[in-house]
Structure 1
Amino acid sequence: MNIKTILATVLGAIGLSACASYPPLAVVSKVETEKFMGRWYVIAHIPTWVERKAFNAIESYELNKDGTIATTFTFNEGKATGPLKVYHPKGFVVDGTGNAIWGMQFIWPIKAQYKITYLAPDYSSTIVARDALDYVWIMARSPNISDEEYATLRERVASYGYDLSELRRVPHTSRQ
């Protein structure tokens, strides 16, 4: 074996060992899409690069006639009075999932996984997660939840295998 083959083999083995593989996260059995629509306040998240410095983050959903989900994601960047950022990804419900798995498209043709892993019976709070355990969102219908509810939702996120040291509580002010 020459040095290039050995080097390629070693680098390939290192690359494969760095790729974590997690079992798929369980989702809720059924989401009534119409009830899920509306405003959700992002209470905490392991953020994407876009939302790392988000304040007052709100995700709003509206069901389109074609079954897709019109989404509006807004937040103030950097501080509570920072510039308002607005994004309009489109959600696509995956057939046969009880409406609990979506593809969220920010840029065509890529659809990011969006799994509703927890939903309060009264649709007052939810957790959206991903099998890759890279991003997660704890959301509620109100910008503030009790410390007990937050602790319970946080523990649920930990039970999925997420690193809680990455979880960021999103500040909300009365400027919403």
Structure 2
Amino acid sequence: MRILSINLFMLFLLSCSSNKVEVRSLSGFESEKYLGKWYEIARIDNRFEKNMINATAEYSLNPDGTIKVVNKGYDKIKNTEKMIEGKAKIIDKGLLKVYFVPFFGADYNILYVDNDYQYAVVGGNKKNYLWILSRRDTLEENIYDELVKIASERGYDVKLLQKF
């Protein structure tokens, strides 16, 4: 019993530490300017976007002040378009909690957005959730490199990024 308790405690410690990144608000962020359609340029692959290409996210304001989230993409293995709708609550400037399933929210942290709200870096509170987004379906290589550098400086493993 004692060994089981020690093992459970060690598992708890491991799960609480190394995969987290610093979460902080984004000074000067204006949520209204962030609304609209974004194209996924790159991401660290994750289970809910497995085999997904041509992914987009569209944000619009709900009457209750929350943000409607519509994610779309094409599953290249199943040859089908996928779409999921959810909502986001603004926690702080650039910090949102996104819900695709009631009561189970995911952290959505805007790490960087340019002054014209044309490209952005978004991460979760864990290192394995990272996206580079653009208002267009392409992004100049020098801008992409800058966004990757920003993500790296915030603690994300950018070697895992998949560019689309």
TM score, norm. by length of structure 1: 0.84
The alpha carbon displacement at 1:110 in A equals: 0.9
2:43 paired with 1:49: no
Q: Determine which of 89, 92, 100 is the counterpart of 2:89.
A: 92
* Equivalent residues, number: 163
| Residue number in structure 1 paired with 2:116 | 122
SS class of match (1:6): helix
Contact 1:89 1:105 in 2 (8 A): yes
SS class of match (1:127): strand
How does 1:1-176 map onto structure 2 within 5 Å?
A: 4-21=1-18, 22=20, 24-78=22-76, 82-94=79-91, 97-98=92-93, 100-170=94-164
The letter of the residue matching 2:32 is E
Alignment deviations for residues 133-174 of structure 1 (CA, whole Å, 9 cap, x no partner): 22011101011011111111111111111112321112xxxx
Identity of aligned residues (%): 28
Question: Gapped runs of 5+ residues in structure 2?
Answer: none
Contact 1:105 1:112 in 2 (8 A): yes
Distance 2:90 2:66 in 1: 7
Contact 2:21 2:127 in 1 (8 A): no
Distance 2:138 2:112 in 1: 18
Question: Gapped runs of 5+ residues in structure 1?
Answer: 171-176
Distance 1:125 1:9 in 2: 46
Distance 1:18 1:61 in 2: 32
Distance 1:137 1:60 in 2: 14
Aligned CA RMSD, in angstroms, stands at 1.9
TM score, norm. by length of structure 2: 0.90
Alignment deviations for residues 65-124 of structure 1 (CA, whole Å, 9 cap, x no partner): 211111110000126x93100010111111xx23x1111001011111111110100100
The alpha carbon displacement at 1:18 in A equals: 5.0
Contact 2:40 2:55 in 1 (8 A): yes
Alignment deviations for residues 14-73 of structure 1 (CA, whole Å, 9 cap, x no partner): 542354254523332132222111100011111331112111100001111211111110
Higher share of residues assigned strand:
2
